[in-house]
């Protein structure tokens, strides 16, 4: 058995209203959810308080982004302190949509991760290669470069869950095969061993994201270095419960 608790995050992205969130909360309450899985849902910032107040307490709530400083003249941004003040403990940072739609570079994401950890949040940093990187055999090079950028700002690995999300698999219905995902997860764990230490490599959850569904989650969950999932589209549907229970 893995020493790492299975972890399933949902990423609602820019979807839902209060009525839709009520629906999600209802199927989450019905479950039943495996007690062996840690569950967190990432919700739009304007619904953080609403979701925290209505979602069962054993389910963590994440913001989908936040800025790299505590407060100030940064119109439109929110800080980790505000996320905490809304009763939430988590933030997703560096999602591929933040990187590729909003142009967030590695250095900014790294600074955001650093500040969120300093402010006491738990963080889900996301990394992953584009299709052209994979086709050019540069997957390892790309994800290692993303890790190298994050490293100087990670002060506490016990509050980090690393998400590997190949960009070509996000929202496309194309999933990495269990073998493809396992290969990158094993490479990332080796990178942690080489660049941080063995203890961090063994204890850090590395979760897979990219078109995870009720149909493919069990095969992916069998792989030794896949410690859970980050789920987009399927996190809005009752299928999310099956994904939470993928490892039983």
- Applying CB under 6 A, the residues found at the interface with ligand PEP are 11, 13, 165, 170-171, 209-212, 230-234
If the CB atoms of residues 234 and 244 are measured against ligand PEP, the closer one turns out to be 234
If the CB atoms of residues 114 and 209 are measured against ligand PEP, the closer one turns out to be 209
User: Catalytic annotation on 104?
Assistant: no
CB 39 within 8 A of CB 5: no
Q: Strand pairing partners for 90? A: 62, 122
Active-site annotation holder among 38, 104, 129, 165: 165
Query: How near is the Cβ of 100 to ligand PEP at its closest, in Å?
Result: 12
User: Catalytic annotation on 95?
Assistant: yes
Q: Residues near 242 by Cβ (< 8 Å), separated by ≥ 6? A: 214, 217
Phi–psi pair at 7, nearest 5 degrees: -130, 125
If the CB atoms of residues 9 and 201 are measured against ligand PEP, the closer one turns out to be 9
Query: How near is the Cβ of 170 to ligand PEP at its closest, in Å?
Result: 4
Active-site annotation holder among 38, 95, 97, 111: 95
Cβ count near 11 (within 10 Å): 26
Query: How near is the Cβ of 72 to ligand PEP at its closest, in Å?
Result: 29
If the CB atoms of residues 33 and 230 are measured against ligand PEP, the closer one turns out to be 230
* Dist CA 108 CA 128 (whole Å): 16
Query: How near is the Cβ of 105 to ligand PEP at its closest, in Å?
Result: 19
> Which residues have a catalytic role annotated?
95, 165
């Amino acid at each position: 058995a893995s020493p790492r608790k299975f972890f399933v995050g949902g990423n609602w992205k820019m979807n839902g209203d209060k009525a839709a969130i009520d629906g999600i909360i209802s199927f989450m309450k019905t479950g039943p959810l495996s007690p062996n899985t840690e569950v967190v849902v990432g919700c739009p910032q304007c619904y953080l308080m609403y979701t925290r107040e209505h979602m069962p307490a054993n389910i963590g709530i994440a913001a989908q982004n936040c800025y790299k400083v505590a407060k100030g003249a940064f119109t439109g941004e929110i800080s980790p302190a505000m996320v905490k003040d809304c009763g939430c403990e988590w933030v997703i940072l560096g999602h591929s949509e933040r990187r590729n739609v909003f142009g967030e570079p590695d250095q900014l994401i790294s600074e955001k991760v650093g500040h969120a950890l300093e402010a006491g949040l738990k963080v889900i940093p996301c990394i992953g290669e584009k299709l052209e990187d994979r086709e050019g055999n540069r997957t390892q090079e790309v994800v290692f470069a993303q890790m190298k950028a994050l490293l100087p700002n990670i002060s506490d690995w016990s509050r980090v869950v690393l998400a590997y999300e190949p960009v070509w698999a996000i929202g496309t219905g194309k999933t990495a095969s269990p073998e493809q995902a396992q290969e990158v997860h094993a490479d990332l764990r080796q990178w942690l061993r080489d660049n941080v230490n063995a203890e961090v490599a063994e204890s850090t959850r590395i979760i897979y994201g990219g078109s995870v569904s009720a149909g493919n989650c069990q095969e992916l969950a069998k792989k030794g270095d896949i410690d859970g999932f980050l789920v987009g589209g399927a996190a809005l549907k009752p299928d999310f419960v099956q994904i939470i229970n993928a490892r039983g």
